[in-house]
Structure 1
């Protein structure tokens, strides 16, 4: 109950007694007997402006003809009921007359005025809108003295927390004549200038220098030229916290008895303040004997290993506290977590000083283990779109299982990684703990986030307009595909992924469809995936104004995959398999490096196996810890080992070009201009076998591609200070050939440099991001067969709200591409550095921009590449 409500009730009681006392005088004239029962003859309501009189009477519950006691409990309850509405500033009952056994009452009320409009002066328009929302200055709000006082205090505290210590707030209300019983509120805010800390002076410190003590004060900093990342504003709450941090700095160095003798804040004439802090350091202490008392589940040796503090170590009170229970890390390496990870939720651990002789302190770590706790009820709340079974199958805590804190923490990680919920608002609540029974309930609170994305782009490039339409549903329900009631706007809730994408211009068209079921069969985390794609490319005319549709190629592909979560080495590993088939149909299309033959068919059948591990947490958009990596091998059958073709005399490209429409290798005579003489085409096994009998060699199809491709990518995340996160990345790729005489295929190559995005991948190519250089500028024209890349990225979040997640980043990047393994030199790299920003909106995916400087020249240049701007759309986090 609030203080205001309590006041109203007490005021109502006092008022009632006053009315009763007043009415006792009337009773002498009206001959009313106190405590006598009367029949209510009538009730009149006066003072109402916004409400109907009969509505008020109905709400009181009093009815003409009913029996009441005057004064009595019923009247008291009516007054209390009306006060609880928070609509009136005064409520009074009066006896107007008594006629025999009938009593007539008057209910007099004074309504609270209603807020009709708010005007804020002294701030910019954008800030005033935020204040109206934050302070709940809504139209229709009842205006009371406490409401005005609370609003003023909120604004004063808001700006004091930002360093505006001299803020003044004046609130006035004026009657609004255009509405009944309404007022307008005028709020004048004068923040003045921020009050900055001019200097922080310490007295009495000999063991620790002024610089060390100022560093310990994380939030309160004195003004210093060149320090832009931490302002020197003064916030009283932060200053109070910093005084505690100051003493902790001494405790970390062994000075257990250190204390602040006094501190003062001095206001200067130049709108700055000075801070004087006097400390008493005391003597340095050391740890003595550390004994464990009450432990039965673990031996002294096991607990001493977790504690990590030995006799003779310099006393460190902060470290001792963290090794007992580290509140800064939910999965910290401390004794409390050690117990809670084996079911001892109800354990209590308390370090106690048992003696302090000279400079040595002996401790007892007193432990009350309690009973192991088991989960009783495990529930989920807040999922209004995602079906329960999708969440429950990802829970690491189940009814009847032993409580383990690490399983709770792991569940939060994996629910956040699903992408269906706001990772910043995942909230596990421990409910109904029963130490006697050894049971506990847990409820996972989730907030649904947008899990569908739309990609709609248009731009001019390559000589024409390029349009892209993409739809991705990350929480799809295919079983409700034909259920009309499930379309809101599409069937959702079963955790499946459905993606459709169309990209088209005058010169090409690309269609793709993919579907992922993460729990095939619904019992085990076996992921099934399939995708279909089709690309049509037409040869442009010389002026790029039109296309020749008789010169084209068509690529059709299908992929089917299965991935299974492993139990060894641990269950963050996943093994995946996929089988893919691509069909390349080229008609009169000669484009040089991409396709080294201009007419015919090529096919590719490849098997991919990948081992991956992902234990990043908790937000997939902005991981703050953990790592993930994937190593994969993509393999085709080694056809050259059994197709009977001798490639020894063929050049690398000759093995793939000059084929007829049936895909047979042919020998072609050409005129002086290089044009094919159609009548001379003969099917051959090698170019030199032009005279070989066609019937003998014509069955030897050479249109199946063969290659193997090895890739590795690793990302590591480390939270450094506060929300600042370091991301370390390493990537490697190699494309090889089984038969060196046949050579490496012109497909599936690596193109390094730029933003890492590609409009389309006609030949299985992979675009590797390396900012600070133009797209594909670090690879040969026909792509490279090997590359490596390294990145360091510092990330800092601006906001991680559900509507939009925004973070800034600074990066160092280096990498290069090579033509063959013989040329490979991992430290012959192109370097770059830059800054960027990323914005993730659930409906549109990831957007961003990077400004990067390339320190090295690209091929053919002799000066640094310089500045490049990269726009990021839909790339991985």
Structure 2
């Protein structure tokens, strides 16, 4: 404001001075223009001249000079401007006398225990930028907030400006009086008869400092956080029936080198609900609404319960087309300890969807977005369907953000839906290395585009997916190309095809197995959580058996060509495929092959997850598969147990009875395999992506089809999981409970890192 007043005064005075001088004499010619500085030359003359229209050789015009002054102030380069004239030759020399704004050259701190680099970042001041008192005051306030957040509630900060080492630049020094760091020893409550100190302090973010905690920095009392905690305590009381509860006083009590918080609580009386009613309902029946409410006659009053009821009523109406419904609660006293609650509803009118407007999709085609929506023009407006649509669009992986909002339509009783998306890069190239106890060190590379367009240009935006994957190591070599069209013929029918080559040397020390083939598949969603898929493959297997192997194993050597057909049904309600906490997955499938290999088989698999207190997870999973056919079943179609993906107390494929081995002890597999795993997972040391687990595995392997008579093998163990962007890292330590001459009674490590073994 001061700069603005100064600008207006100088501009008016200068224009008036020039106007009076020129009004009494003819206009004079400008022979020279000069820039002179008051103070440091912190702005180059060329930058000043760029803002000035007055030119040497022209006649002096007071209106143009006034515009020059306005331009200089508007540029932010100057603090003040004066314009002077003096005779020179046969004309006038015009002098612009300027005081330029300070340019920041250094930022320093005095009295700080917090890192200077941290404080510089918090000031948001940049070296080389101009600054003024407003920006310095903003920086000072930000520094105070930093200190108070760390527990320095009495901090005082001032600043001073002086010259820097570089000419034309200024140094800003923040002088800090940190005061005393208030470390909290104990929280004491007074007046709390209904809840213990432990329960109330559990509602707070401010915690007493520990004498030693290697995983969390010890800090003082954050005053802003403490204010929020007072609100949390009062809300806790109101959620438990104490309608008039409040925190009446908070004091700090010195206790050695720390302080105690003394919190005085006035609980008041506990209220229950005498009667709950709903008024203003016309479109639906009150008897349909009352069972949906959380607040019921005789229950303890809860402000959170009222908010739940308000959200539930609005959502119920919004799902039935009443997007403009308003619900207002009214709470009246019925007695000294009871209240009546009335929800007053203003329904508005039922609306249908007219237009769906989409913006922000510069690459993604409109139809890719529209086909994922759970609502269409002509449908009754539904808020739940909007939420489902938003989740589906985010699930595509094409967008950083999706905003869906209703707006009034130009047609009465109709609603338009506005969808705004922010696209992100959908092409990725991932490469690196992984390690597992099965196939050792493997380098891998994945080239993926999840929003591809095969037909048409540009080759992006149609929601198709292509992938080229390579895994290369000493014990395995994989090459695979996949293409997926998720909406074949614009129907909810996913079509996939691909080619693959796999050289698997880790299966056995006695033989190598190579597979080359291609596939086509169709997948049809049957509901929100279920799907049915069909797959056909043409494959060539090569089995190369070592010369010193047993005669039994040598019979497996040779080339096999086959066509494989399979169908699979999946029910999947898991909340995440990355770290599952709730839900289940069931899969039922059958397959048969023709050609050199004539087999048929069935398989069942399932998993169930239970979220328990303290973010612990109990999971139970299992798998059953049996295969049969004409003649012998080749080794690549038989089932094996043991390793990181089944019985972890045994080496890979080594969970086998003596009857299912050759004379050299090499596992030959069976026609039927069944196993299950029970696992209990828990977080470790307050790190969200670091978890531990204990487990028990059990299973049977039989040489007969459809048989459960094989020897039961089991193990138990412990492990850790680390979830990283590059992929999960899993380490298990397990002990077998069944041993023989081929399986030693010793601990086994199972390790996976960097990619998913298959």
TM tier relative to shorter chain: 0.7 to 0.9
Instruction: State whether structure 2 residue 703 is matched by structure 1 residue 814.
Output: no
Provide Cα deviations, 1:645-698, integer angstroms capped at 9, x if missing partner: xxxxxxxxxxxxxxxxxxxxxxxxxxxxxxxxxxxxxxxxxxxxxxxxxxxxxx
Offset from partner CA, 1:832-856 (integer Å, 9 cap, x none): 333332111xxxxx33433444366
Partner of 2:9: 17
Contact in 1 for aligned 2:239/2:301 (Cα 8 Å): yes
Report what 1:657 is aligned to. none
Q: 1:510 to 1:594 in 2, by over 3 A?
A: farther
Unpaired stretches in structure 2, ≥5 consecutive residues = 658-666
CA contact (8 A) 2:42 2:169 kept: no
Taking the aligned partners of 1:45 and 1:597, their CA distance within structure 2 comes to: 99
Matched with 1:452 is 428
Q: How does 1:465-484 map to 2 (within 5 A)?
A: 468-475=443-450, 477=452, 479=454
- 2:755 is matched with which residue? 874
Residue in structure 2 matching 1:517, options 485, 488, 498: 485
Structure 2 distance, partners of 1:400, 1:538, is 59
Counterpart-to-counterpart distance in 2, 1:40 and 1:825: 112
Gaps of 5+ in 1: 1-6, 326-333, 545-550, 640-700, 757-767, 800-805, 841-845
- Number of the residue aligned with 1:415: 393
2:111 matches 1:144: no
Partner of 1:582 in structure 2? 539
Find the partner of 1:632 among 577, 582, 588: 588
Q: How many residues align?
A: 733
Structure-2 change in CA distance of 1:214 and 1:634 (3 Å): same
Q: Report how far residue 450 of structure 1 moved.
A: 5.5
Q: Distance in 2 between matches of 1:252 and 1:869?
A: 49
Kept in 1, the 8 Å contact 2:513–2:544? The answer is: yes
C-alpha distance in structure 1 between counterparts of 2:169 and 2:592, whole Å: 79
Q: What CA distance in whole angstroms lies between the structure 2 residues aligned with 1:194 and 1:838?
A: 37
**Distance in 1, Cα, partners of 2:374 & 2:651:** 46
In the alignment, does 2:237 pair up with 1:261?
Answer: no
Q: Is the 8 A contact 2:203 2:229 kept in 1?
A: yes
Match of 2:496 in 1: 529
Matches within 5 A, 1:329-408: 334-373=312-351, 378=356, 386-398=364-376, 401-408=379-386
1:562 corresponds to which residue?
522
How far apart in 2 are the matches of 1:772 and 1:709?
26
Shift of 1:475: 1.8
- Is 1:111 aligned with 2:100? yes
Distance 1:256 1:865 in 2: 63
Q: CA deviation at 1:417?
A: 2.4
Q: CA 1:526–1:226 in 2, change beyond 3 Å: closer, same or farther?
A: farther
1:712 paired residue number: 605
Report the counterpart of residue 602 of structure 1 in structure 2: 560
Deviation of 1:410 (Å): 1.9
Instruction: Say if 1:589 and 1:511 are closer, same or farther in 2 by CA, change over 3 A.
Output: farther
What SS does the corresponding residue of 2:97 show, helix, strand or coil? strand
Measured at CA, do residues 458 and 621 of structure 1 come closer, stay the same or move farther in structure 2, by a change above 3 Å? closer
Structure 1 residues 520 and 539 mapped into 2: Cα distance closer, same or farther (>3 Å)?
closer
**CA offset at residue 597 of structure 1?**
1.9
**Could you say which structure has the higher strand fraction?**
2
| 1:320 counterpart residue number | 306
**Mapped partners of 1:458, 1:513: distance in 2:** 20
Is residue 2:149 matched to residue 1:157?
A: no
**Aligned residue for 1:686?**
none
In structure 2, distance between residues paired with 1:232 and 1:539 = 52
Distance 1:154 1:76 in 2: 38
What is the aligned partner in structure 2 of residue 838 from structure 1? 723
- Who is 2:469 aligned against? 501
Aligned mates of 2:386, 2:497 — CA distance in 1 = 33
Distance in 2 (alpha carbons) for counterparts of 1:386 and 1:798: 40
Go from structure 1 to structure 2 and tell me whether the alpha carbon gap of 1:154 and 1:539 turns closer, same or farther (over 3 Å shift).
closer
Q: 1:193 to 1:834 in 2, by over 3 A?
A: farther
Please report how far the alpha carbon of residue 811 of structure 1 lies from its aligned counterpart in structure 2 after TM superposition: 2.8
1:670 aligned residue: none
Give how far 1:809 is off. 2.5
Give the whole-Å Cα distance in 1 for the aligned partners of 2:324 and 2:87: 67
Distance in structure 2 (CA, Å) of the matches to 1:145 and 1:749: 79
* Counterpart residue number, 2:674: 786
What is the distance in 1 between the residues matched to 2:53 and 2:377? 49
Whole-Å separation in 2 of the counterparts to 1:540 and 1:736: 20
- Contact 2:448–2:466 (CA<8 Å) still a contact in 1? yes
1:476–1:496 Cα contact (<8 Å) kept: yes
CA distance, structure 1, for counterparts of residue 132 and residue 113 of structure 2: 27
| Counterpart-to-counterpart distance in 2, 1:402 and 1:39 | 78
CA distance in 2 between counterparts of 1:124 and 1:848 reads: 39
- C-alpha distance in structure 2 between counterparts of 1:189 and 1:875, whole Å: 53
**Matched-pair contact (CA < 8 Å) for 2:318–2:383:** yes
Q: Is the 8 A contact 2:436 2:752 kept in 1?
A: no
Distance in structure 1 (CA, Å) of the matches to 2:161 and 2:155: 20
1:220–1:68 Cα change, 3 Å? same
Question: What is the CA distance between 1:307 and its match in structure 2?
Answer: 0.9
Aligned partner of 1:281 among 234, 247, 267: 267
Deviation of 1:52 (Å)? 5.5
Decide whether aligned partners of structure 1 residues 729 and 499 sit closer, same or farther in structure 2, where only a CA change above 3 A counts: farther
CA distance 1:469–1:225, change in 2 (3 Å) = closer
Kindly provide the CA deviation profile for residues 51-98 of structure 1, in whole angstroms up to 9, marking residues without a partner as x. Answer: 56465454355678689667xxx877765554443333x122435369
Task: Give the whole-Å Cα distance in 2 for the aligned partners of 1:141 and 1:526.
Answer: 58
1:114, 1:399 → 2: CA distance? Answer: 58
Q: Distance in 1 between matches of 2:174 and 2:426?
A: 37
- Alpha-carbon RMSD across the aligned residues, in angstroms, is 4.8
Deviation at 1:256, TM superposition (A): 1.1
Aligned to 1:206, what secondary structure does the other structure show?
Answer: coil
C-alpha distance in 2 between matches for 1:55 and 1:210: 66
Instruction: Give the corresponding residue for 2:662.
Output: none
Give deviations 1:217-254, integer Å, cap 9, x for gaps.
Answer: 2x122346899898785222222222122122222322
**Partners of 1:731 and 1:789 within 8 A in 2:** yes
